[in-house]
């Protein structure tokens, strides 16, 4: 895999550094400072930050606008684009616009389903599948070919990522293999608290050549309390929270500090798994917890890609 996008994240990964990504969630308002403040809090701690695309199916500020605000603060954005809300015309426009505004990485997603009971009037589009989106973005980059075989120059040269749920019941490794074959360069996994189970997953997909074809970054998130850990276990597909983790949080005098400690231990164990290229640290609304995990896991200073 050669460097094509010029993104900092891509260079760090190709330099064989252990990458760190984080997350910026645009608000459900038009407040630009809400985005800028998150970016400033993560600058110097992450190689790039995902800018989310209306998570949970609720309307948030556009990730294209969010990516521009993050880039303006000196943090590299990874724009998340879902197939849920856009036809291929809108997807093309957002890819071109995001590149022009400073995004060099894109995470291709199906998108969280809209909760029909809460928002019955919202139509879900899905003109592209996520595999279609990956193939389209890769062709746009490698061949400069857009819709209708229209040739464009300059074309966006995105570093292309996808998501995976390695610990979901009934996991099908073939789905990740399809994303690799479609041309994805990196994958970010769902949050994990069970490093042993993650290691077993790694051994399962290793014969497929996943680690040679894609950079794998594992999702981690410091829980704020036992209640938040139980919520993730019960409501987020693919999140496995061992009972002892919930117990330690329940017994802790300072559950938030305990959540950081537990996450640091998970990160250290993940780093020992052959082939894992980095972590994606999700703050659950608390950038301070993200910084503490990165600091205490020994992931500073961040790499200067060459």
Confidence of residue 211 (pLDDT cuts 50, 70, 90): very high
Give the pLDDT confidence score for residue 185 in this predicted structure.
97
Confidence of residue 120 (pLDDT cuts 50, 70, 90): low
Neighbours of 303 (CB within 10 A): 17
Give the pLDDT confidence score for residue 57 in this predicted structure.
86
Query: Average of pLDDT values for 249-259?
Result: 96
CB 188 within 8 A of CB 161: yes
Query: Average of pLDDT values for 1-16?
Result: 87
CB 166 within 8 A of CB 198: yes
Confidence of residue 114 (pLDDT cuts 50, 70, 90): confident
Give the contacts of 2 (CB within 8 A, at least 6 positions apart): none
Give the pLDDT confidence score for residue 119 in this predicted structure.
66
What is the Rg, in whole angstroms, of the alpha carbon atoms belonging to the chain?
A: 18
Confidence of residue 36 (pLDDT cuts 50, 70, 90): very high
Confidence of residue 284 (pLDDT cuts 50, 70, 90): confident
Q: pLDDT at residue 280 above 90?
A: yes
Q: pLDDT at residue 204 above 70?
A: yes
What is 12-62 written as a DSSP string? HHHTT--EEEEEE---SSS-HHHHHHHHHHHTTT-SEEEE--SGGG---S-
Give the pLDDT confidence score for residue 62 in this predicted structure.
98
CB 108 within 8 A of CB 161: yes
Q: What is the CATH number of domain 8-296?
A: 3.20.20.220
**What H or E segment, with its residue span, contains residue 189?**
strand 186-191
Q: Residue 278 has which token pair?
A: 């980095």
Instruction: Give the span between the Cα atoms of 274 and 211, in whole angstroms.
Output: 9
Q: pLDDT at residue 117 above 90?
A: no
Give the contacts of 55 (CB within 8 A, at least 6 positions apart): 25, 112
Give the pLDDT confidence score for residue 1 in this predicted structure.
54
Give the pLDDT confidence score for residue 306 in this predicted structure.
46
Confidence of residue 304 (pLDDT cuts 50, 70, 90): low
Query: Average of pLDDT values for 154-175?
Result: 97
Query: Average of pLDDT values for 249-265?
Result: 97
Give the contacts of 111 (CB within 8 A, at least 6 positions apart): 53, 54, 57, 82, 83, 84, 85, 124
Instruction: Give the span between the Cα atoms of 214 and 160, in whole angstroms.
Output: 10
Least confident of 108-117, 130-139, 231-240: 108-117
Q: What angle do CA 287, 15, 75 make, to 5 degrees?
A: 30
Q: Which long-range contacts (CB under 8 A, 24 or more apart) does 127-133 make?
A: 127/83, 127/86, 127/87, 127/88, 127/91, 128/83, 128/86, 128/87, 128/88, 128/91, 129/83, 130/83, 130/162, 130/179, 131/178, 131/179, 131/182, 132/83, 132/88, 133/81, 133/83, 133/91, 133/108
Confidence of residue 198 (pLDDT cuts 50, 70, 90): very high
Give the pLDDT confidence score for residue 121 in this predicted structure.
79
Give the pLDDT confidence score for residue 272 in this predicted structure.
97
Q: pLDDT at residue 276 above 80?
A: yes
Q: pLDDT at residue 64 above 90?
A: yes
> What percent of the chain shows pLDDT beyond 70?
96
Give the pLDDT confidence score for residue 238 in this predicted structure.
92
What letter does residue 188 receive in the DSSP assignment?
A: E
What letter does residue 87 receive in the DSSP assignment?
A: -
Q: pLDDT at residue 116 above 60?
A: no
Q: Residue 294 has which token pair?
A: 């990165």
Q: Residue 21 has which token pair?
A: 């990504």
**Per-domain boundaries in the chain:** 8-296
Q: pLDDT at residue 205 above 90?
A: yes
Start-to-end C-alpha separation, the chain: 16
């Amino acid at each position: 895999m050669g460097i094509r996008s010029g993104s900092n994240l891509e260079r760090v990964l190709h330099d064989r550094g252990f990458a760190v990504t984080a997350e910026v969630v645009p608000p459900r308002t038009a407040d630009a400072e809400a985005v800028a403040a998150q970016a400033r809090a993560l600058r110097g701690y992450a190689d790039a930050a995902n800018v989310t695309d209306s998570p949970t199916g609720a309307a948030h500020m556009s990730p294209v606008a969010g990516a521009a605000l993050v880039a303006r603060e000196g943090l590299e954005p990874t724009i998340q684009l879902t197939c849920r809300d856009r036809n291929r015309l809108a997807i093309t426009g957002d890819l071109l616009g995001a590149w022009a505004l400073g995004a060099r990485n894109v995470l291709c997603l199906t998108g969280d389903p809209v909760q029909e009971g809460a928002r019955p009037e919202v139509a879900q589009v899905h003109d592209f599948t996520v595999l279609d989106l990956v193939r389209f973005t890769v062709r746009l980059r490698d061949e400069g070919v857009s819709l209708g075989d229209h040739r464009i120059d300059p074309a966006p040269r995105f570093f292309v990522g996808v998501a995976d749920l390695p610990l979901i019941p009934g996991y099908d490794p073939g789905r990740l293999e399809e994303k690799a074959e479609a041309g994805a360069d990196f994958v970010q996994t769902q949050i994990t608290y069970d490093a042993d189970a993650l290691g077993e997953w790694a051994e399962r997909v290793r014969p497929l050549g996943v680690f040679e074809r894609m950079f794998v970054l594992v999702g981690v998130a410091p829980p704020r309390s036992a209640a938040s850990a139980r919520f993730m276990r019960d409501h987020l597909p693919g999140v496995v929270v061992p009972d002892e983790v919930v117990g330690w949080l329940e017994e802790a005098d300072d559950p938030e500090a305990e959540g950081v400690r537990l996450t640091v231990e998970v990160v250290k164990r993940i780093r020992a798994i052959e082939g894992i290229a980095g972590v994606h640290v999700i703050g659950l609304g608390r950038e301070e917890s993200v910084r503490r995990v990165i600091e205490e896991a020994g992931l500073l200073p961040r790499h200067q890609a060459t």
